[in-house]
Structure 1
Amino acid sequence: MSEAGTGSAVDVVIVGAGAAGLSLAHRLTASPGPGGRPASLVLVEPPKGSPGRSPARTWCFWGDERDEFDSLVTARWHRLRITARDGHRVCFTSPRAYQMIRSVDFLHGVGGLLARRPGVRRVEATVDQVRDVPGGAEVTGHDAAGRPVRLHARWAFDSRPPRELPPARTTLLQHFRGWFVTVRADRFEPGVADLMDFRTAQPAQGLSFAYVLPFNRREALVEYTEFSTAPLTESAYDAALEDYVHRVWRPAGHVVTAVEQGIIPMTDGRFPRSAGESVFRIGVAGGATRPSTGYAFAAIQRQSAAVAVSWHAGRTPRPPMPHAARHRLMDAVMLRALATGRAGGAAFFEDLFRRNPPERVLRFLNGTSTLRDEWAIGLGTPVPAMLRSLLELPLLPRRKATACP
């Protein structure tokens, strides 16, 4: 063949082998496809060492020990805690465990399953274009040696992060840097996860909090997170982490064994899930990130499961929106209130947990809340600020973001 990777059409090509791409490939090939035959699927990922490869990270979500990825879970916590700026704590037990999966474990575990399934092929290439062609979709790019790659499929799913954010009325950034730390003496509570500890130095605009996930009494992931309009420098993140660790945990010396860092757009922009008749976007590119929280892993699982059900039933496998319309509206109102300063940053979340049973707030954060939950949560927020933000939403233009962070 004159072009690397060129061949006859397959059922599906998935661009990207991260959480979204691997989850969809797993579900599409877990059982026979339409007609009872195994799916033919090509999973395209950037060459090793290329900038297109995502760095190692952790994904957290609420789940059960019966979940299909249970064997890949690094740690789980049933006891959760919120700590206000004045030190007041809300500690509670969650009916569903808060769980962490390391991306390296997920990629290895699910990748191993796919390697044993007939009809699944992996190609390393940098993708330049995914487009409709007669009868399906075409994916073109080049491999590590610069040779062209061209793939044809009935359906193509693109999980690459968008180069630009969609036009939005409000866009904030959730940006963070986390240390995996080891301390010399017992300091952490291994059964308790600190979801939000507001005893961090609060920025002039926006809000910040620490996020502490202990693995045992001497090891934990300690993360500094900000909601604001611009990220910090690495030295500024490290200074904030150093201040928090020494002031709150007072370790007798600590060692940073690994670091993770990232930026999550918090936007009410509408992420298009279709890029053509046979080309779809999934994962973060398909709107899986919850605008108010930055959580995406559980939504990715819901989205990929729905796509697989449609494909196995012989229907057009168009990805559904993974978040309910009313949740997106509530998120848009909250983002607007925070961005305008009408709702005080840290105080907003502190009051949210003080005025509601924690389980109700967790259901909302996880996207499983009822209308009754949401009505009660709304009454517990600064109503005038939220009402003003709600009423002005239809009048605000959606402005294009300059670039995707």
Structure 2
Amino acid sequence: MSRPPAEPPRVVVLGGGAAGLSLAHRLVETGPATVTVVEPPDGPLRPGERTWCFWEEGAGDFDEAVEATWPLLRVHGPDGGALTLDPAPMRYRMIRSGAFERLVRARLADAPGGRTVRATAGAVRDVAGGAEVRCTTADGRPLTLRARHVFDSRPPTLLPPARTQLLQHFRGWFVRTRTARFDPAVAELMDFRVPQPSHGLAFGYVLPLAEDRALVEYTEFSRTPLTGTAYEAALGHYACEILGLGGFDVESAEQGVIPMTDARFPRRTGASVFRIGTAGGATRPATGYTFAAVQRHSRAVAAALREGRGTVPPPHGLRARAMDAVVLRALDTGRIDGPVFFTDLFRRTPTPLLLRFLDGTTSIQEEWGIGLRTPIGPMLRTAIELPLLRRRAHPVPRAGESRR
């Protein structure tokens, strides 16, 4: 007598940002699976519009949501010298969160096993055969969801102890200038001509959308965020004094802060409950890049479930995390000059290789070669020191997401 076909695994994903929707999309795409995404109702728990950027070769999964691409990159060193970089065969791409979310929600709605629920997720606990999520709907009704697996992308209330923690904090303006001021073929990845803080580093960031439109941002890697007034002053100085934009209008603004930390984020909080996204350690500690890592991790998680494995792999490998810990500590102690360090990396390393390194997809031989292009003495001293340092608690930064 033949057995009835097995029921597709039931999965609940908490959070409808980049990590949650990317995983849900990958699960229904590779199926079979029944996936429910729990998103907060309209209100203070829903984040505002965000910008995510990444580099990619060839056609991508979310090309319909890509707002702009750039075939060339530029880095301005602290001495004012400009490096124009060709990342071919990759291109730098921008996705706005609203377009991404609309695209993925439409795909989930068309998939046999996909659905989205608007509710505030509360407690998550293991139960027989999986996990249970207690939710509250927008009209105040209780809602209980059960699944074989739960993947939680909500921001953590506490950060794990770390040896080093900096913050990447930024504010950006979408500007429209009176005359043509931008080259739509070139993205300004790091512009170190801005005044540098006493601790950490700062840079400008320009993503042209047309000859007279661009996202212009001011970013710092430091221990504490700035006040709103300080961000506005820094942006105004960068736009007017350094970029020389002349007259312009600010059409909208975005702001964020994320931890750059060597903390060990737990990937599992229950027998059937896993953390994903920034909460699961997907943000690259030394750069803040997240979106590309989320895509790779989503594919790896979907493969693990499909193969019946009881755990999921980490977003970044051990080597990448170890190298980032050294870079973070060297920056925090001032052993390396941040603007000089990053400018020299771009100057001395072939751009496609360096971009793969920043994404964590290089081989150990390639990483060794890149390491020889960094200040060997300070980096070696830091690597020797790290195992002797005690991990300690750090404050949780204000809510925000990486633009990368």
Give the TM-score of the pair, scaled to structure 2: 0.93
Q: Secondary structure at the match of 1:76?
A: strand
How many angstroms does 1:404 deviate by? 4.3
Q: Match for 1:158: what amino acid? A: D
Q: d(CA) in 1 for partners of 2:84 and 2:61? A: 28
Equivalence for 2:282 = 288
Please say if residues 55 and 92 of structure 2, whose CA atoms lie closer than 8 Å, have aligned partners that are also in contact.
yes
Residues 121 and 331 of structure 1: is their aligned pair in 2 closer, same or farther, counting only changes over 3 Å? same
Give the structure 2 partner of residue 273 of structure 1: 267
- Kindly provide the CA deviation profile for residues 61-95 of structure 1, in whole angstroms up to 9, marking residues without a partner as x: 11134111112111111101110122111112112
State the one-letter code of the partner of 2:78: R
Matched, 1:24 2:17: no
User: Which residue of structure 1 aligns with residue 352 of structure 2?
Assistant: 359
Q: Aligned match of 1:84 in 77, 82, 99?
A: 77
After the TM superposition, which residues 26-105 of structure 1 pair with which residues of structure 2 at under 5 Å, given as runs?
26-33=25-32, 39-49=33-43, 51-95=44-88, 96-105=90-99
TM-score relative to the length of structure 1: 0.93
CA distance, structure 2, for counterparts of residue 176 and residue 311 of structure 1:
36
Q: Which residue of 2 aligns with 1:121?
A: 115
Distance 2:397 2:159 in 1: 5
Q: What is residue 3 of structure 2 aligned with on the other side?
A: none
1:234 to 228, 232, 239: 228
Q: Give the conservation status (yes or no) of the 8 Å contact 1:47–1:126.
A: yes
- State the partner residue of 1:175: 169
Check if 1:346 corresponds to 2:339.
Answer: yes
Equivalent AA in structure 2 for residue 23 of structure 1: S
Q: CA deviation at 1:383?
A: 1.5
Could you tell me which amino acid in structure 1 is paired with residue 308 of structure 2?
G
How far residue 10 of structure 1 moved from its aligned partner, in angstroms, is 7.1
Q: What is the 5 A alignment of 1:129-208?
A: 129-208=123-202
SS of equivalent residue, structure 1 residue 138: strand
Q: Deviations over 1:284-330 (max 9, x none)?
A: 111110001101111111111111122223333x3311212111111
Name the CA distance, whole Å, in 2 between partners of 1:163 and 1:284.
12
State the Cα RMSD in Å. Answer: 1.5
- Describe the superposition over 1:32-87 as per-residue Cα deviations: whole angstroms up to 9, x where unpaired: 42xxxxx22221111112x2212110111111341111121111111011101221
Sequence identity percentage: 56
Contact 1:165 1:404 in 2 (8 A): no
Which residue in the other structure is 2:257 paired with?
263
> In structure 1, the residue corresponding to 2:196 is in which secondary structure?
coil
Provide the residue aligned with 1:109 in structure 2: 103
Give the distance between the partners of 2:389 and 2:119, measured in 1 at CA. Answer: 41
Q: Distance in 1 between matches of 2:9 and 2:35?
A: 6
Task: Quote the residue 1:13 is aligned against.
Answer: 12
Corresponding residue number in structure 2 for 1:371: 364
**Unaligned 5+ residue runs, structure 2?**
1-7, 399-404
Give the distance between the partners of 1:404 and 1:143, measured in 2 at CA: 28
Please give the alpha-carbon distance, in whole angstroms, between the structure 1 residues aligned to 2:297 and 2:172: 28
- Per-residue deviation at 1:360? 2.9
Distance verdict in 2 for CA 1:63–1:359, change over 3 Å: closer
For 2:138 and 2:65, the matched residues in 1 are separated by 30
Kept in 2: contact 1:177–1:262 (CA 8 A): yes
Which amino acid counterpart does residue 298 of structure 2 have in structure 1?
S
**1:378-397 pair list within 5 angstroms:** 378-397=371-390
* 3-state secondary structure, aligned to 1:118: coil
CA offsets 1:260-302 (integer angstroms, 9 cap, x no match): 1101110000111111111111111111100011011111111
The residue identity in structure 2 corresponding to 1:199 is: R
In the TM superposition, residue 348 of structure 1 has moved relative to its aligned partner by 1.6
CA contact (8 A) 1:162 1:404 kept: no
Q: Cα deviations across residues 349-376 of structure 1 (Å, max 9, x unaligned)?
A: 1222233333332221122222233222
Counterpart Cα distance in 1 of 2:187 and 2:282: 24
Equivalents in 1 of 2:189, 2:349: separation in Å? 16
SS of 2:72 mapped into structure 1: strand
The Cα of 1:238 is off from its aligned counterpart by 1.0
Secondary structure at the residue paired with 1:208?
A: strand
Unpaired runs of at least 5, structure 1: 1-8, 34-38
Tell me the distance in 1 between the aligned counterparts of 2:75 and 2:113: 47
The runs of 4+ residues in structure 1 deviating greater than 4 Å are none
* Greater shift in the superposed pair: 102-111 or 114-123: 114-123
Distance 1:101 1:65 in 2: 16
CA contact (8 A) 2:265 2:281 kept: yes
